[in-house]
Amino acid sequence: MKQYTNVLDRPISKGKQEVSLSGFAFLFSELVQYNQTQVDNIAELERRLEDAGYAVGTRILELLCHREKGNRRETRLLGILSFVHSTVWKVLFGKVADSLEKGTEHEDEYMISEKELLVNRFISIPKDMGAFNCGAFVAGIVRGVLDNAGFPAVVSAHFVPVDGQQRPRTTILIKFAEEVLQREARLG
């Protein structure tokens, strides 16, 4: 393998390389366990997981914009949402997200839902941790992508029980900042 002195000179991989799911699951479980030792409450834990995800989101946006989209930039709301729901999900999790919906109660809310989030597959939440969701990591990834693409938002992960399904599905709730909606309205 040719040695490059500068990491920026190395060719970008095609993104076809894979590792085992269990390898990733082990790594993710260590991330969660380490953070559990560093915090006192659930809100802090979710925030730390989200921050870790934010860093991933920033980098995946740069990588994908260059590799998949030929350096084109999304400027419209639906454009960036569909980028997250299809391209980002496909690259990170191997499939497009199950659904993308607009919130009915608020203009600035959108929801991406997944029947079984990859990071939650091997995780069960003990009862005393209440509404904690390791999907906070994925919420952080989405926030990282949106923020760096110029669409600041507050993103969180929630469990939504579904009839007829034993495990609840996970919904990533995206609430865009006021300026995003104003800009969107101006662009017509």
Residues that bind other proteins (CB under 8 A): 1, 3, 6-7, 13, 15, 17-24, 26-28, 30-31, 33-35, 38, 48, 51-53, 55-56, 59-60, 63, 91-94, 118
Task: Give least dist CB 137 to other proteins, A.
Answer: 8
Q: Which is nearer to other proteins, 91 or 177 (CB)?
A: 91
Task: Give least dist CB 9 to other proteins, A.
Answer: 11
Q: Are 52 and 144 in contact (CB under 8 A)?
A: no
Tokens found for residue 33: 């366990």
**How many CA atoms are closer than 13 Å to the CA of 12, on its beta-carbon side?**
10
Task: Give least dist CB 11 to other proteins, A.
Answer: 11
Task: Give least dist CB 42 to other proteins, A.
Answer: 18
Tokens found for residue 17: 């390389």
Q: Which is nearer to other proteins, 3 or 104 (CB)?
A: 3
Q: Which is nearer to other proteins, 59 or 183 (CB)?
A: 59
Distance CA 5, CA 24 (A): 29
